[in-house]
């Protein structure tokens, strides 16, 4: 996207065919897909958190994290199948493996992860097949972080301007959002004495989330508008408030049960709102031909002036 550094506000003059959109708006449904982004993030991060909890001997944290990984990916899979136009054909997702399709990569990732996370959680709950459970837990912890960030590529690898042009920041935004939400969940569900890592994770997640979002909005120029205006803008501002409140609670009141719970809820809510905001910002940018034509024209001008 060449010379766009936020300083120059591009000329919004453009021509179109009766103001109609050039792109087709994603047919992905709400709340299905934003919900999946949120659940996948929590599940993936939780699987990694569970291994840390095991190694550092925090049984309550480990239990919550293992259950969150299994439940998050399980519900996430159901939500994704529900989003298909032909849900009965969901197994076709595993018909081929294509690196050019983030959805193909993601389906395999999700299938592997949710199997591993379920086995690990079941073994941990029932205290049976310990070695298998261990191995499964380790596998889930390895697949978890990619599961939490590949969804950014899923969105970015489209022609949707606000998603595609944000491909550098979206994975970090999603990693931050997932980390904050996972920290929040553990703060909510784990006794404060064992939740130290969760609190630190929450604060780090919020920091990463805010930094990535800031970078995205300053680098994208005109394409930052869909993230700042209308409903997505309101959602992101609310998410920022919740995230900051949650992080403050983790730092200042982490030893209090009540503050921990409230902060945890705020962080979970902040992450969910972020996912909806990103999703809807994409829809808005696909619907308005301005976001297709103006940046492309600008790109062409930049190319021409480089040649000249």
Partner 1 sequence: MSNRLSGPLDDVTGDAGYEAHPERMGFFTDTSVCIGCKACEVACKEWNFVPEDGLLLTGMSYDNTQQLDANSWRHVAFVEQTKPVQAPSPTVNTSASTDLGMPTVGLPGAQDPQAADNGDIGVRWLMSSDVCKHCTHAACLDVCPTGSLFRTEFGTVVVQQDICNGCGYCVPACPYGVIDQRKDDGRVFKCTMCYDRLGVGEQPACAKACPTESIQFGPLDELRERAQQRVERLHEQGIDEARLYGESPDDGVGGDGAFFLLLDEPEVYGMPPDPVVTTRDLAAMWRQAGAAALTLTVGVALSFVGRSR
State how far the Cα of 120 lies from the Cα of 134, in Å rounded to an integer.
7
How far, in Å, are 31, 45, 63, 97, 203 from residue 236 at the CA level?
17, 22, 32, 35, 18
* DSSP state at residue 25: P
To partner 1, the closest distance from the beta carbon of 121 in angstroms equals 18
How far, in Å, are 72, 109, 175, 180 from residue 64 at the CA level?
12, 22, 20, 16
State how far the Cα of 282 lies from the Cα of 50, in Å rounded to an integer.
33
Query: Could you tell me the sign of the dihedral formed by the alpha carbons of 64, 65, 67, 73, in that order?
Result: positive
To partner 1, the closest distance from the beta carbon of 261 in angstroms equals 18
**DSSP letters along 41-108, please?**
HHHHHHHHHHHHHHHTT-HHHHHHHHHHHHHHHHHHHHHHHHHSSSGGGGGGGGS---TT-HHHHHHH
* DSSP state at residue 234: H
State which residue, 89 or 128, has the beta carbon closest to partner 1. Answer: 89
* DSSP state at residue 95: S
To partner 1, the closest distance from the beta carbon of 51 in angstroms equals 8
State which residue, 107 or 123, has the beta carbon closest to partner 1. Answer: 107
To partner 1, the closest distance from the beta carbon of 260 in angstroms equals 13
How far, in Å, are 31, 204, 252, 256 from residue 200 at the CA level?
30, 6, 12, 15
Q: Which residues contact 237 (CB under 8 A, 6 or more apart)?
A: none
State how far the Cα of 267 lies from the Cα of 274, in Å rounded to an integer.
11
State which residue, 167 or 253, has the beta carbon closest to partner 1. Answer: 167
To partner 1, the closest distance from the beta carbon of 258 in angstroms equals 19
To partner 1, the closest distance from the beta carbon of 126 in angstroms equals 26
State which residue, 198 or 268, has the beta carbon closest to partner 1. Answer: 198
State how far the Cα of 239 lies from the Cα of 273, in Å rounded to an integer.
6
To partner 1, the closest distance from the beta carbon of 115 in angstroms equals 18
- The SS3 of residue 85 is coil
To partner 1, the closest distance from the beta carbon of 128 in angstroms equals 27
């Amino acid at each position: 996207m060449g010379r766009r550094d936020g300083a120059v506000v591009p000329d919004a003059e453009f021509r179109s065919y009766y103001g109609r959109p050039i792109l087709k708006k994603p047919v992905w449904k709400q709340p299905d897909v934003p919900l999946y982004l949120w659940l996948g993030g929590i599940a993936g991060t939780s699987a990694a958190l569970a291994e840390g909890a095991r190694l550092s001997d925090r049984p309550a944290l480990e239990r919550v994290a293992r259950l969150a990984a299994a439940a998050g990916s399980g519900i996430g899979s159901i939500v994704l199948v529900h989003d298909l136009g032909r849900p009965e054909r969901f197994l076709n997702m595993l018909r081929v493996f294509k690196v050019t399709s983030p959805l193909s990569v993601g389906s395999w990732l999700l299938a592997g992860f949710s199997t591993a996370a379920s086995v690990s959680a079941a073994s941990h709950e029932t205290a049976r097949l310990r070695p298998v459970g261990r191995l499964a837990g380790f596998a889930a912890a390895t697949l978890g972080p990619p599961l939490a960030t590949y969804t950014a590529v899923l969105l970015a690898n489209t022609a949707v301007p606000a998603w595609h042009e944000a491909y550098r920041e979206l994975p970090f935004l999603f990693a931050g959002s997932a980390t904050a939400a996972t920290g929040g969940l553990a703060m909510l569900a784990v006794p404060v004495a064992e939740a130290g890592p969760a609190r630190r994770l929450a604060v780090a997640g919020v920091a990463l989330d805010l930094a990535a979002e800031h970078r995205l909005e300053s680098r994208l120029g005109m394409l930052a508008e869909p993230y700042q205006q209308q409903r997505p803008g309101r959602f992101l501002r609310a998410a920022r408030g919740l995230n900051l409140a949650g992080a403050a609670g983790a730092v200042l009141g982490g030893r209090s049960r009540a503050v921990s719970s409230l902060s945890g809820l705020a962080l979970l809510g902040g992450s969910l709102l972020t996912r909806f905001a990103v999703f809807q910002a994409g829809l808005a940018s696909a619907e308005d031909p301005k976001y297709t034509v103006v940046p492309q024209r600008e790109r062409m001008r930049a190319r021409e002036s480089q040649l000249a």
